[in-house]
Amino acid sequence: MGTDGRLRDVPQEWRVTASETPFTGGKTGVRTDRVVMPDGSVATRDYQVHPGSVAVLALDEQDRVLVIGQYRHPVRHKLWEIPAGLLDVPGENPLHAARRELYEEVHVKAEDWRVLVDMYTSPGGSDEAVRIFLARELSEAEGERFAASDEEADMEIARVPLADLVRGALAGELHNNCLLTGVLALTAARASGGLDTLRPADAPWPARPFEA
């Protein structure tokens, strides 16, 4: 808790006596650390090493959210999600990556960008950090559509009222973490100060530092 009484996460790093990477994939890997616990014992911790991600809650003038339906093999579901993608380049500006994902996945551009929320997706087993942006003032992007492949070749695109997504989340019908976090955070932001109080699109992101 900060000196102003507000609850905050605090950066902290316990001593690591040994570290190895038993698996490295195309985009992510698995690391095994030997970590010194507060009582002096040493515990093994395995976790996914991840470059980080961005996601975009794109909201149109009719209060509809752009969503995509995509097959996700690990959970054996076709999930409704918001546009998202990896931070492929170390130090990449997350806003640039978000603009790219919005263009590539739904061929849309936006004029108004805000940071909606930052999160760690599964901090007990992964170091993945995600920044979710709110994008408004949408329009069709110029140029040719991005060529889809693999799971994205079967992707569906829809515009769904925000209220319907909130209902689906609370009913257990929608499960993607970025979609759920985004729509519920947007609803909360509207109820507590309005969208103009959201952080600017270039707000610092200590979890994944970037250049302007």
Annotation marks residue 144 as catalytic: no
Q: What would the pLDDT profile of 101-157 be if each residue is shown by its tens digit?
A: 999 999 999 999 999 999 999 999 999 999 999 999 999 998 777 666 566 668 899
Mapped onto helix, strand or coil, the DSSP state of residue 182 is helix
pLDDT for res 180: 98
- Catalytic entry in 152, 156, 173, 211: 152
Q: What is the mean pLDDT of the chain?
A: 93
In the sheet that 156-161 helps form, which strands lie side by side, from edge to edge? Answer: 77-81, 64-72, 156-161
SS3 assignment, position 49 = strand
Residue 45, Cβ neighbours under 10 Å: how many? 14
- Measured CA to CA, the distance from residue 158 to residue 88 in angstroms comes to 26
Residues 6+ apart with CB under 8 A from 146: 103, 104, 105, 107
User: CB–CB of 54/97 below 8 Å?
Assistant: yes
pLDDT, tens only, 1-42: 667 888 999 999 999 999 999 999 888 999 999 999 999 999
State how far the alpha carbon of 31 is from the alpha carbons of 10, 16, 36, 86, in Å. 23, 12, 16, 19
Spatial CB neighbours of 154, under 8 Å, sequence gap ≥ 6: 70, 71
